[in-house]
Amino acid sequence: MSKILEIEDLTVSFDGFKALNNLNFSLDAGELRVIIGPNGAGKTTFLDVITGKVQPTKGRVLFKGKNLKKIPEYKIARMGIGRKFQTPRVYLNLTVRENLDLVCNRNKNVFPTLFGHANNSEKRTVGGLLETIGLDSKANLQANLLSHGEKQRLEIGMLVAQSPDLLLVDEPAAGLTDEETENVGALLLSLAQSHSIVAIEHDMEFVRQIATDKVTVLHQGALLCEGKMDQVQNDPRVIEVYLGETPE
Amino acid sequence: MNNETGIAIKKKQQRNKLIETGTIIALVIIFAVILPAVIPAFRLRLIGRFLSLAIVALGIDLIWGYTGLLSLGHGIFFALGGYALAMHLNLQLPEGQLPEFFTLYGVEELPWVWQPFYSFPLTILALIIIPGIVAGLIGYLVFRNRIKGVYFSILTQAALLVFFNFFNGQQEIINGTNGLKTDTERIFGVLVSSPGVQRAFYIVTVISLILIYLLCRWLTSGRFGRLLKAIRDDETRVRFSGYDPTGYKVLVFAISGAIAGIAGALYTVQTGIITPSIMQVAFSIEMVIWVAVGGRGTLIGAIIGTMLVRLAQTFLSESFPEIWLFFQGALFLIVVTVLPDGIVGWWTSYGWHKSRSLLGLQPKLATYPSLVEDPELQQERETIAKK
Amino acid sequence: MSTLIEGLFNGISIGSVLLIAALGLAIVFGLMGVINLAHGELMMLGAYATFVVQNVFKPLGEPWFSFYIIAAIPVAFIVSAIFGLILERGAIRFLYGRPLETLLATWGVSLILQQFVRSVNWLLIICLGIFCLLFFGGMQLLKSRADWESMRTKIVSLLLPLAAGVAIAFYFLLSQNSALTNAWFSARNVDVTAPAWLRGGVEVLGFQMPYARLFIIALTILCLMGVYWFLQRSAWGLRIRSVTQNRTMSSCLGIPTAKVDALTFALGSGLAGIAGCAVSLLGSVGPNTGQNYIIDTFMVVVVGGVGNLLGAVIAALGIGILNYLIGSGTLALFLTTISAPQSMIDFFLFFATSSMAKVMVFALIIIFLQIKPAGLFPQKGRTAEL
C-alpha cells in the first residue's frame, strides 16, 4: 500500500519551546487514523504543520511523496488536503448553499471566480452534499442561524466539497450531544471509504466508534505509541500520561 | 417542498429587482433631468461635488463594507485622478507654450510626466488606470505579507502622508502647495467654469455614479462577492479552502482605487482647483464616516450617507463654523457606538418593523428567525394546522 | 567625523522625541490592542498644560520660574491621564475587540479635542458642567429605581436631549457676556519659553548639543525606565501583563479587568502628556500639534512589533536617525566625500528635505515589512494569529 502522508524527524519550536519533537509518522492511502493525546501534546501544531500554517523547524512533511516545505496554505489545500478546525468555522454571513458552492468552485483563481458561474456538475455536487450532511431543508438559511452541530456537519461538508484526498479533522465531536456525535461519527466512517482521514479527538467513546484502524498517541510533541485501539488502551505508558504515575 | 421554496425565493428576487430598477430610473430622472432645470447653477455644482464624493464612498464600501479592509488613504487615489484631469486641462494651450506656473520656477521644458496628458483619451485612461495601479501596488506589498486589520489602516494612512509630502515638495513638476487650477482652463475650446460645461460634468457625474453603482452591484453579488464576504469574516478559512486571498484583495483594492480616481477627476472639475490639501489625513477618514453613517455593506447606504453628511456639513459650516468639528467628532462616536450598521442597516433590521407596527400592521416575524424560517418547523406547523 | 557624530546626535534626539511620543501608544496598542488616533491630541493637551503651568509660574519671579518645567511634567501627565480615563470609560470600553471601530471613534475624539482647545472658554466649561450635572446626576438618581434596567433606554433618550437643551439654552443666554466667552487659547499657536537653564547648549567635538534636546533625551530614558519598572516589577504591572495574555482567565482569578484597562489606558495617555510637555520645548504649540506626530509614532509601533518596548526603542532611534541623515542631506554629503557615483548622490539629494525624507523612510519601512511583516520582535506561537 502506498503512503499518502509521511512525516520524518519533524521538530517545531516556538522561541525554544518544542511543540513537536522529532516526530515520525506515516499514513497509508485510504486509512482512517485517530490521534489522541493529552492537552499540549502538539496535536493542533501537528495539523498546522501539515497544512502549511506553521513551518517546520527541522525535518520534513511529504504528501504523496512531495515535500510541503514553503508551499503556501492555499496551494496545499489545492493539492488535496482539507482541514476542519476545532471550533466550526463556516462563513456565517452566507447561506448553507453558498458556503458549499464557494468551496466547490473548481477554479479558484481570481478572474475565473469573478466571471464564472456554478456549472451543472458543481450544482449537482452541492445538492448531493446537502443531502449527505442532512442540511437539505436549510440550504437557503444563513449559516449563523444553524445550531452548533449543524455547523460542524456543514464544515465537514465543505471539506468534502473541496474533494481532497486527505481529510484532517480536529475534534469533530467537541461540544456535541451524544446523538449528534454519533451522526458525525457515522459521517466520518462513510467518508473514510473514499478518503484518507486523520482525526484528532479527546472523547474516548467517540474514538472507539471511529477507530477501525490504528490509533496514534502523542505526548509532549513526540510519538508515544501506535497500534489498534485495545492495544493502545492497555499500554502502561498511555495510562501513565493520561492518569499520572501508576502506583508500583 | 424544496422546489416550491426555490420558486418563492426566485419570485421575491424578481420583485426586488424590479423595485430596484424602478428606483434607479426614478433617481436618474430626478437628478439628471429635473434638478438641473430647477436649482441655480452654483447649487447644482455643489450637488455634483456631493455625487462625485458618493462615488468614492462606493469604492470604500466595496473594500471596507464587503472585504473588511479599512483604507485611510483613499485621498491618494482621489488626488491622482484629480491631478490627471487637471494636468490635461492645463495643457490646453497654443503650441509650444507651457502652463504659466512653470515660469515661476524657471522650468523651460515640459516634464516628461506631463507629455501623455496632451491626449484626451490617454488622460481618461490614466485617471482610471494610474490610481488603480498605485492602489494595486500598495495593496500587493501589504497583503502578500498578510498585514491586515489596523496595520493595513495605519500603513495606508502613512502612505497618504507620504504622497501629501511628495506633492507638496515637487513645485517644479506639479506646482507644489498651490496646486492646479481648472476653472480658468478650457476643455474642447470652452471655458471649464462656463455653465454649459459644468452642467455636462454634472450629468457625467450622475451617469458615472450609476455605472459604478452597477459595477459594484455586480462585483458583490456573485461568487466573487461571496468570497469577499468570506475573506472579511474568516480569511484563514478561505486560505484553507484553496483560495489565495491576496489576489482577491489586491484586485478589489485596485478597483476601489480606480473608482476613487474617477471620483477625484469629477470632483476637481466641479471645484475648480486641486491642491495637495485634498490628501490631508482628515479628508480620507471623513470618507470612511460617510460609508459608516449610511451603513457599510450596503451600496445604497454609502451614497445616502455621503449625501447626508455633506449636506449637514454645508449647512453647519455655513452657519456655525465652530460647531462643525464638534459635530463631526460626535458623529464618529455615535455611529460607531450606537449605530454600527448605519442608517440603512438600522432601517432594515429595526426601523422597518417599527414603522410597520406604528402604522398598525402585523409584524412579519414574531419570534426567533431561526424558528420562523426553519422549513422543517414550517412543515410541522402546516401539518398540525391541517389536523 | 564630527558631521557623523552630529548626525547621530540629531538623529537620536529626533528618535527620542518619537520614542517618548510612541511610548504611550506602544503601551495602549501593544497591551490593549487599541488604536488611539487621539494620542496626538493627548500630547497636545500635555503641551497646553505646560503652557498653563508656565503662565502660573511667571508672576512668581525668577528662582521659581526656572523650575516650572519640573512642575509641568506631572501636571501634563495628570491632565492627559484624566482625559484618557474619560475617553476610555466613555467610549473605548464599549469597543474592545473591534479595533477598526475604535480607530474611528478615537479619530472623532481627536477632532473634538482639537476644536475644544480652539474654542474653550469659561462659558463652554460652565455649560459642559451643567450638562454633566443634569445628565449623570439624573442617571444616578434614577438608578435606584427598581425598574432601572427596563427603563434604561427610555430614560437615556429623555434625559439626554433635556440636559443638552438646558445646557445649550444657558450657552445662548450667557453668550453676551464677553468675560465668559473669551477663548482661553484661541486658534493661534502658543509659545512655551524654555527656562534659562535649558537654553543654549554644550559644545562637544566642535558642535552644539542644545540643552533642551539633552533634556528630552534624559526625560525619555527616565520614562522608559519608569514604564519598564512599572510593568515588570509592580503588582499592577503584573496584572496588566496577565490581562494582556489571557483576559478571561485573569478575570476568573479575580483581577478587576475593567480597572486594569482603565489604568493601562490612563498610563498611556499620561505618557502622551509628558511627551507633549517635551515637545513644547521644541517649538510653538497649536491645536494641530498632535497631528504632526501621530503617523510617525504609529510607524514606530508597527516597525518595533506589538507589545515590545525594546522594539519600540530600536525602531524610534532607527527611524529618527534615518530621517535626519536623509533629510538634512548628511548622507548625500557623506557620499560625495567618498566619491560615490554621481547618480547615487543625485538620488539622495532628491530626498534631502525633511518632507521628502519621510517619503524615503516610508519606502524603507515598506521594504522592511516585506522581510519582517510583524515588526522587529514578532509574537510567536499558537496564539499569535487566528
> pLDDT tens digits for C49-98?
999 888 888 887 777 777 888 889 999 999 999 999 999 988 888 888 78
Query: What chains are in contact with C, requiring at least 3 Cβ pairs below 8 Å?
Result: A, B
Contact at CB, C380 and A14, closer than 8 angstroms: yes
List CB contacts of B365: < 8 A, sequence separation 6 or more: B353, B372
Does residue C157 fall inside a structural domain? Answer: no
| Buried-state track B300-330, b at ≥16 Cβ within 10 A, e below 16 | bbbbbbbbebbeebeebeeeeeeebbbbbbe
Alpha-carbon gap, residue B184 to B191, rounded angstroms? 7
Does residue C238 fall inside a structural domain? Answer: yes
- By C-alpha distance, which of C252, C278, C246, C282 is closest to C381? C246
Cell of B13: 428576487
Does residue C38 fall inside a structural domain? Answer: yes
Is B233 at the interface with chain C, CB within 8 A?
A: no
List CB contacts of B78: < 8 A, sequence separation 6 or more: B56, B131, B260, B261, B263, B264, B267, B278, B279, B284
User: Which among A83, A98, A110 has the least Cβ separation from residue B248?
Assistant: A110
Q: What is the CATH number of the domain that holds C286?
A: 1.10.3470
Is B150 at the interface with chain C, CB within 8 A?
A: yes
Alpha-carbon gap, residue A96 to A118, rounded angstroms? 15
User: Which among B153, B165, B330 has the least Cβ separation from residue C108?
Assistant: B330
Does residue C150 fall inside a structural domain? Answer: no
User: Which among A72, A91, A105 has the least Cβ separation from residue B223?
Assistant: A105
User: Which among B6, B234, B370 has the least Cβ separation from residue A91?
Assistant: B234
State how far residue B163 is from chain A, nearest Cα, in angstroms.
Answer: 29
Q: Quick one: closest CA in B to C110, which residue? A: B329
- By C-alpha distance, which of C163, C155, C158, C160 is closest to C130? C163
Contact at CB, C100 and B325, closer than 8 angstroms: no
Crossing angle, helix B281-294 and helix B74-90, to 10 degrees? 110
A50-69 mean pLDDT: 86
> pLDDT tens digits for A163-192?
888 989 888 877 788 888 888 888 888 888
**A225, β-bridge pairs:** A217
What's the confidence (pLDDT) of residue A131? 86
Is C358 at the interface with chain B, CB within 8 A?
A: yes
A64-78 mean pLDDT: 87
**A67, β-bridge pairs:** A62
Cell of C309: 518596548
Does residue C92 fall inside a structural domain? Answer: yes
**What number is the ipTM of this complex?**
0.85
Contact at CB, A108 and B244, closer than 8 angstroms: yes
Q: Quick one: closest CA in C to A15, which residue? A: C380
Q: Quick one: closest CA in A to C386, which residue? A: A53
Q: Name residues 326-385 of chain C within 8 A of A (Cβ).
A: 380-382
Cell of A24: 515520525
Cell of C107: 479619530
What's the confidence (pLDDT) of residue C99? 84
Alpha-carbon gap, residue A190 to A167, rounded angstroms? 13
Contact at CB, B335 and C104, closer than 8 angstroms: yes
> pLDDT tens digits for C258-297?
898 899 999 999 999 999 998 888 888 888 888 888 888 8
Q: Name residues 287-316 of chain B within 8 A of C (Cβ).
A: 288-289, 292
User: What is the number of structural domains in chain C?
Assistant: 1
Average per-residue pLDDT for chain B: 85
> pLDDT tens digits for B95-116?
778 888 888 888 888 888 888 8
Dmax (CA) for chain C in angstroms is: 84
- By C-alpha distance, which of B373, B381, B125, B367 is closest to B258? B125
Q: Quick one: closest CA in A to C381, which residue? A: A14
User: Which among A91, A118, A138 has the least Cβ separation from residue B230?
Assistant: A91
Q: Are A135 and A153 in contact (CB under 8 A)?
A: yes
Contact at CB, A110 and B247, closer than 8 angstroms: yes
Alpha-carbon gap, residue C30 to C310, rounded angstroms? 12
Alpha-carbon gap, residue C237 to B20, rounded angstroms? 57
> C204 lies in which domain range?
2-120+183-385
For chain B, the first-to-last Cα distance in angstroms comes to 19
Q: Quick one: closest CA in A to B248, which residue? A: A110
Neighbours of C231 (CB within 10 A): 19
What's the confidence (pLDDT) of residue B375? 64
Q: Name residues 9-38 of chain B within 8 A of C (Cβ).
A: none
> Over chain B (387 residues), what is each successive 10-residue block's mean pLDDT?
57 77 84 81 88 95 92 94 92 81 83 88 93 95 86 90 88 85 82 86 92 92 90 90 92 96 94 91 91 89 91 86 85 86 82 71 53 63 69
What's the confidence (pLDDT) of residue C335? 79
Percent of chain C with pLDDT over 70: 96
Query: What chains are in contact with A, requiring at least 3 Cβ pairs below 8 Å?
Result: B, C
Does residue C149 fall inside a structural domain? Answer: no
Residues of chain A neighbouring C382 (CB-CB closer than 8 A): 14, 19, 44-45, 48
Q: Quick one: closest CA in B to C187, which residue? A: B322
Q: Identity (one letter) of the amino acid at A197?
A: I
State how far residue B215 is from chain A, nearest Cα, in angstroms.
Answer: 12
Does residue C155 fall inside a structural domain? Answer: no
Neighbours of C320 (CB within 10 A): 23
Alpha helices in chain B (DSSP H): 2-28, 35-38, 41-60, 74-90, 101-104, 120-143, 150-169, 171-174, 195-221, 223-233, 235-240, 245-271, 281-294, 299-319, 321-337, 342-346, 352-358, 369-373, 375-386
What's the confidence (pLDDT) of residue A190? 85
- C-alpha distance from residue B254 to each of B72, B150, B166 (Å): 14, 19, 21
Does residue C142 fall inside a structural domain? Answer: no
Q: Quick one: closest CA in C to A12, which residue? A: C381
Alpha-carbon gap, residue B172 to B162, rounded angstroms? 18
Q: Does residue C35 have a pLDDT over 80?
A: yes
Report the alpha-carbon angle B32-B35-B37, nearest 5.
100
> pLDDT tens digits for B62-87?
999 999 999 999 999 999 999 999 99
- By C-alpha distance, which of A215, A226, A223 is closest to A20? A223
Alpha-carbon gap, residue B70 to B58, rounded angstroms? 13
